[in-house]
């Protein structure tokens, strides 16, 4: 066993704290100061920390049915009741694995084994916690789907592994996360208020047969089951609301292996009316008979038929011919349509002087 794990099981400190103690030269084995973290401790070795010998404690794991109104804490400044008030003196040094708030009740574990705490608390290890929740309004499948999808709360992103409705006001929720008041906050964001919350399962262990406020010590075989248990796979729950919506739109409900006929119904193929569905071999269809198109020669060796792109004879021009500015038509005072000319080319004509009566030469 590694030295830091040995000190953790002795109750000296956590594994991270034990590493700092070892590097500080405060640990000796058989009279020799040890600063190597990878040092192995044998059963007959004498380990001393700060001049005091230490030894491993006997592993203890308790299962407690926490009543409502008790805190998961060793002490309280307001002198409220804690779960250690329910335990005898010899179990006061145990730490609780996870926690339940004051208004919640149900199963909680207490132990002096750090590896067991890590196995149950850490989300990656796969220890599930199942809760029975009672709310103030009727529940439905849409609310359960939102709990599984997850949402952002004050403590961060929260989601449930599985959730299903038991009765109108009661549901079961399975968690792997351990955010503060997670279930209460998630349902609060969905418009519900939790009136009762009970943890009924941790991993393989269930709450059945344990009275409120009572505890029992687990055997080594029962403790090892927490380490041998494989992470549970997520289970898909039926959504009656989605199935009813599909039937109203004319779609057949999805059937899996558990259907009555034992066969999985395939998806309807989409095809045009009167035509073959998708996925069918179209080579079986007989090709339609088409007559070849014939073109008769015309004058000039051209063939009659649809006009080709670029033929100027069959396509009217989009541009009007530019008017010649030097044509006599443009110099006239008007056009055939009695339109005023837009402009003249060259300088404007001089206006003749007015004519008056002729006068003869005057004599001076």
**pLDDT tens, residue by residue, 126-183:** 689 999 999 999 999 999 999 999 999 988 999 999 999 998 899 999 999 888 899 9
Q: What percent of the chain has pLDDT over 70?
A: 62
Q: Which two tokens stand for residue 55?
A: 């030894």
Q: In the structure, what pLDDT confidence band is assigned to residue 264 with cuts at 50, 70 and 90? A: very low
Cβ atoms of 119 and 226 within 8 Å: the answer is yes
pLDDT for the residue 160: 95
pLDDT for the residue 132: 97
> How far from each other are the two terminal CA atoms of the chain, in whole angstroms?
152
pLDDT for the residue 344: 54
Query: Rounded to whole angstroms, how far apart are CA atoms 111 and 260?
Result: 48
Q: In the structure, what pLDDT confidence band is assigned to residue 360 with cuts at 50, 70 and 90? A: low
pLDDT for the residue 347: 59
- In this prediction, residues 29-33 reach a mean pLDDT of 91
Q: What percent of the chain has pLDDT over 90?
A: 39
Most confident among 16-30, 124-138, 181-195, 235-249 (mean pLDDT): 181-195
Query: Rounded to whole angstroms, how far apart are CA atoms 21 and 108?
Result: 31
Q: Is the pLDDT of residue 334 over 50?
A: no
Q: Is the pLDDT of residue 263 over 50?
A: no
Q: In the structure, what pLDDT confidence band is assigned to residue 260 with cuts at 50, 70 and 90? A: very low
pLDDT for the residue 262: 43
Cβ atoms of 127 and 166 within 8 Å: the answer is no
292 HSE (CA, 13 A, CB side): 2
pLDDT digits (tens, 9 = 90+) for 314-328: 555 555 555 554 444
Catalytic status, residue 101:
yes
Average pLDDT of every residue of the chain: 75
For the beta carbon of residue 340, count every other beta carbon within 10 angstroms: 8
Domains defined for the chain, CATH in brackets: 3-54 (3.10.290.10), 57-237 (3.30.2350.10)
pLDDT for the residue 65: 96
What is the secondary structure of 191-228 as a DSSP string?
A: T--EEEEEEEEETTEE-TT--TT-EEEPPHHHHHHHHH
pLDDT digits (tens, 9 = 90+) for 46-90: 999 998 888 877 889 999 999 999 999 887 778 889 999 999 998
- In this prediction, residues 206-219 reach a mean pLDDT of 93
Strand partners, 153: 156
Q: Which position has the higher pLDDT, 208 or 230?
A: 208
Query: Rounded to whole angstroms, how far apart are CA atoms 154 and 181?
Result: 10
Q: Which two tokens stand for residue 19?
A: 């590493």
pLDDT for the residue 9: 73
pLDDT for the residue 119: 86
Q: Among 105-109, 161-165, 236-240, name the one with the lowest average pLDDT.
A: 236-240
Strands (E), 112-266: 129-135, 151-153, 156-158, 162-165, 170-175, 194-202, 205-206, 215-217
- In this prediction, residues 91-109 reach a mean pLDDT of 92
Q: Which residue in the list 50, 76, 85, 101 is annotated as catalytic?
A: 101
């Amino acid at each position: 066993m590694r030295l830091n794990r040995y000190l953790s099981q002795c109750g000296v400190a956590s594994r991270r704290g034990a590493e700092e103690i070892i590097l500080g030269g405060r640990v000796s084995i058989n009279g020799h100061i040890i600063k190597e973290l990878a040092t192995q401790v044998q059963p007959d070795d004498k380990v001393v920390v700060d001049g005091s010998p230490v030894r491993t404690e006997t592993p203890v794991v308790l299962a407690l049915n926490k009543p409502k109104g008790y805190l998961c804490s060793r002490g309280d400044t307001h002198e409220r009741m804690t779960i250690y008030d329910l335990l005898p003196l010899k179990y006061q040094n145990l730490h609780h694995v996870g926690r339940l708030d004051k208004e919640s009740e149900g199963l909680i574990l207490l132990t002096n084994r750090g590896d067991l705490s890590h196995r149950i608390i850490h989300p990656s290890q796969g220890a599930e916690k199942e809760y029975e929740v009672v709310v103030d309004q009727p529940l439905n499948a849409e609310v359960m789907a939102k709990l599984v999808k997850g949402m952002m709360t004050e403590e961060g992103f929260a989601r449930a592994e599985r959730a299903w409705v038991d009765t109108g006001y009661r549901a079961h929720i399975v968690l792997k996360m351990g955010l503060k008041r997670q279930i209460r906050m998630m349902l609060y964001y969905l418009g519900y208020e939790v009136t009762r919350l009970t943890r009924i399962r941790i991993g393989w262990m269930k709450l059945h047969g344990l009275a409120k406020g009572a505890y029992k010590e687990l055997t080594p075989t029962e403790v090892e089951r927490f380490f041998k248990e494989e992470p549970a796979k997520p289970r898909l729950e039926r959504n009656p609301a989605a199935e009813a919506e599909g039937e109203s739109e004319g779609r057949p409900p999805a059937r899996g292996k558990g259907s009555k006929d034992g066969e999985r119904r395939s998806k309807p193929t989409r095809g045009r009316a009167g035509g073959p569905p998708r996925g069918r071999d179209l080579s079986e269809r007989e090709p339609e008979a088409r007559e070849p198109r014939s073109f008769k020669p015309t004058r000039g060796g051209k063939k009659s038929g649809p006009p080709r792109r670029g033929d100027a004879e069959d396509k009217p021009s989009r541009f009007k011919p530019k008017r010649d500015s030097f044509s006599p038509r443009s110099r006239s005072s008007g056009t055939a349509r009695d339109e005023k000319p837009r402009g003249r080319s060259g300088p404007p004509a001089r206006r003749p002087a007015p004519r008056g009566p002729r006068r003869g030469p005057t004599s001076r």
